[in-house]
Structure 1
């Protein structure tokens, strides 16, 4: 796998390719990302979990947005080349969701999965990032009702799933996150039923 990407080879005849990135200070081992990975693979989706170069280098502070976006576009291009002809769905959690939204059109994505989308910095609702969700592509947002980064409103093409009592980490019921994502993928023909892994 290119750069910090792992996992896209686990499905023999994938229906789609889902590429997911981590949050700013986190990793691809976040419970919600792992749950989405496992549920999507079981539904016949090739899933790649991408670690940004700053995390591969051992740094916790994220690189500037332009660097994150460039690294993401590079990895996604290699993955698409390795698995040609599949619908591409991009996404991630928190900062990774923002990267996916900003680059989705450029990488040729068919849809976006945004977990714990950080609508605004905590305590600063006037600094909304809602416009990043408006890409013209089908988009699923899964946020916790108690997320200090806020919860986006639904918009044309943007479906919002709010998990009651969850915070930004979406740790209480990660399997619920995985099921929500696979249900959304299936509704668009991007995932199958049953265990195909």
Structure 2
């Protein structure tokens, strides 16, 4: 793997290419010394890590004193917009998570998540990467106009750690239900989550604070 510094989005960020089974992924890493946890976030199917809701979530994590890793999947690094198959996305994500643990120290808690397709990847791999929580921005529950396609709710239901879903009130992909250890916060807007930014940021900040509180950690030991 090769490390390539570039112009950071944050004062201490660096950009690193990480080898995966399906080509290099690109990680925008901001991991200040002493971070009590790291939040690893992935992009949507046709978008990138500069999406507004991802930027808000990353900013909320930094404000809480957490490290942030924004991950570009290999197909995006290669310049393709069409997403890779789920098995390839998951394998690349797991490889990046293993690399990230080696950088920040294995005992450091890892929160995973992303927007849309990235949220699905985080749900499917949560157990394998040892995530302590999953953050889903605009989870794509059901393809619009495709009632013949199966719901993606089983991917959410398969997560066994605390989960936050931030969903637009008019998201054409539908509205996931809350469940055991799953909080659904509805904000004004559609699948882009381009509105109600203060509410999105507050929801993420409050959930991260609760998830990583010393009281909760003691109670779950």
Aligned with residue 87 of structure 2, among 62, 66, 74: 66
2:133 paired residue number: 111
Residue 16 of structure 1 pairs with residue 33 of structure 2: no
The aligned residue for residue 47 of structure 1 is: 68
Contact 1:110/1:138, CA 8 A, preserved across alignment: yes
Quote the residue 2:53 is aligned against.
32
Q: Distance in 2 between matches of 1:175 and 1:80?
A: 31
Structure 1 distance, partners of 2:131, 2:213, is 12
* In 1, Cα distance between equivalents of 2:130 and 2:46: 27
CA distance in 2, matches of 1:136, 1:116: 19
TM-score, reference length from structure 1: 0.91
Greater Rg, structure 1 or structure 2?
2
Q: Cα distance, 1:125 vs. partner?
A: 4.8
Unaligned runs of 5+ in 1: 192-197
Determine which structure has greater relative contact order: mean sequence separation of CA pairs < 8 Å that are 6+ residues apart, divided by chain length: 1
Residues 143 and 13 of structure 1: CA distance in aligned 2, closer, same or farther (over 3 Å): same
Q: Does the aligned pair in 1 maintain the 2:178–2:184 contact within 8 Å?
A: yes
The answer for the alignment partner of 2:124 in structure 1 is 102
Q: Cα deviations across residues 15-36 of structure 1 (Å, max 9, x unaligned)?
A: 1110000000000000000011
Partner of 2:3: none
Query: Which runs of at least 4 in structure 1 moved beyond 4 Å after TM superposition?
Result: none
Separation (CA, whole Å) in 1 of partners of 2:146 and 2:197: 27
Q: CA offset at residue 12 of structure 1?
A: 2.8
How far off is 1:190 after superposition?
A: 5.5
1:125–1:138 distance in 2 versus 1, CA, 3 Å: farther
- Tell me, in whole angstroms, the C-alpha distance in 2 between the residues paired with 1:181 and 1:62: 26
Q: What residue number does 1:167 align with?
A: 190
Kept after mapping to 2: 8 A contact 1:125/1:150: no
The match for 1:137 is 161
Match for 2:209 among 182, 186, 196?
Answer: 186
1:153 match: 177
Aligned residue for 2:96? 75
Give the aligned length: 189
CA distance in 2, matches of 1:82, 1:24: 27
